[in-house]
Amino acid sequence: MLPVDPAKKIAFNRHISDGDLVIVYERHDIMKAVKVCENSALQNRFGVFKHSDWIGKPFGSKVFSNKGGFVYLLAPTPELWTLVLSHRTQILYIADISFVVMYLELVPGCLVLESGTGSGSLTTSLARAIAPTGHVYTFDFHEQRAASAREDFEKTGLNSLVTVGVRDIQGEGFPDDFSGRADSVFLDLPQPWLAIPSAGKMLKQDGILCSFSPCIEQVQRCCDTLRTSFTDIRTFEVLLRTYEVREVKIDGWQTDDSGSLGSLPCKRRQLSSEEGGNGRDIPSSSTVMARPSPETRGHTGYLTFARLRSLS
Ligand SMILES: C[S@@+](CC[C@H](N)C(=O)[O-])C[C@H]1O[C@@H](n2cnc3c(N)ncnc32)[C@H](O)[C@@H]1O
């Protein structure tokens, strides 16, 4: 993802080379990561796609199979990587990740401490936020998970921005070398309150901690511990609502290929003439339907943020 020159990849202005990782996009819910290898081919329901046809094309290109089917080749951004990575653990998704990156006030050059690494979903976005001069030190006590995460960061080109350590952060805390050097600390641990005293020691004055927990009882214990040395303690639950918006026939809500909308709440309106809805392009029995997507993710967890209290 960030091979030789991280800034270049982030700017999405590269062409595909042999050895690159690309996201092969069929639909928003059918994507996979593929390493480009000149002599290989990808086979799917649309036919056979020769990798050699991909080399030299810009990311975002539409490429065709031997049968005329097509896919798009997208750059492996952290957003897409989160959707295709192999799940070795529960992971953070885009709604929580974007909130974390914003509230941790991450900018290029920041030093971030994280535990646990898990599948590296969050780490990937942390790394992009602090690139090209910052660093993420992420710790997991599970050796195999740490090793797999390292392999993934190598694959995605993030290895110069991320160091994965094996350590029991709840038991031992973060390594003392980081004392007073971290701009932010992120915890996704079962008992985060055990790691909070160490996190406080690691943070620079005014540094920010975030802890992700799925259960409110964990949040409560975490907040109790935070009160001793942190201020501005705030807990959020990020709920994302995505919409399906499409043209449908209005009689009886018998809609499109997917069948009936039943009694789901829908917002609908006729298209105005400016939008081409004056009977010229759109049949008069059509309307625009918008409804919350049934795929929308519900509760993932609570995000608790706190700022290290100044000693003076
Ligand atoms: C839910 S996963 C983290 C997922 C990660 N945030 C992501 O987005 O991919 C939690 C991780 O914490 C690790 N873990 C649990 N207890 C730990 C401890 N005491 N020290 C370090 N890591 C720990 C687990 O091995 C697991 O990989």
CATH number at residue 33: 3.10.330.20
Q: Name the closest-CA residue to atom 27, ligand 1.
A: 118
Domain boundary among 34, 56, 76: 76
Do 145 and 35 fall into the same domain? no
Q: Which residues contact 11 (CB under 8 A, 6 or more apart)?
A: none
* 147 within a domain of the structure (yes/no): yes
Tell me how far the alpha carbon of residue 212 lies from the centroid of ligand 1, in angstroms: 11
CATH code for the domain of 188? 3.40.50.150
Q: State the amino acid at position 115 in one-letter form.
A: S
> Could you list the residue range(s) of the whole structural domain that residue 274 is in?
243-292
* 251 within a domain of the structure (yes/no): yes
Local confidence pLDDT in tens for the 312 residues of the chain? 444 444 444 445 589 999 999 999 999 889 999 999 999 999 999 999 999 999 999 999 999 999 999 999 999 999 999 999 999 999 999 999 999 999 999 999 999 999 999 999 999 999 999 999 999 999 999 999 999 999 999 999 999 999 999 999 999 999 999 999 999 999 999 999 999 999 999 999 999 999 999 999 999 999 999 999 999 999 999 999 989 999 888 765 444 444 444 444 455 555 555 655 554 454 557 889 899 988 777 889 999 999 999 876
Do 57 and 101 fall into the same domain? no
55/57 Cα distance (integer angstroms):
6
The pocket around ligand 1, CB under 6 angstroms, is made up of 89-92, 115-116, 118-122, 139-142, 145, 168-171, 188-190
Domain boundary among 41, 60, 76: 76
* 35 within a domain of the structure (yes/no): yes
Do 102 and 220 fall into the same domain? yes
Q: What total number of domains does the chain contain?
A: 3
Tell me how far the alpha carbon of residue 140 lies from the centroid of ligand 1, in angstroms: 6
* 70 within a domain of the structure (yes/no): yes
Do 63 and 155 fall into the same domain? no
Do 126 and 186 fall into the same domain? yes
* 1 within a domain of the structure (yes/no): no
Do 143 and 231 fall into the same domain? yes
Do 108 and 189 fall into the same domain? yes
Do 235 and 99 fall into the same domain? yes
Domain boundary among 36, 53, 76: 76
* 34 within a domain of the structure (yes/no): yes
Do 22 and 98 fall into the same domain? no
* 254 within a domain of the structure (yes/no): yes
* 65 within a domain of the structure (yes/no): yes
Do 107 and 123 fall into the same domain? yes
Tell me how far the alpha carbon of residue 300 lies from the centroid of ligand 1, in angstroms: 15
CB 111 within 8 A of CB 183: yes
CB 78 within 8 A of CB 128: yes
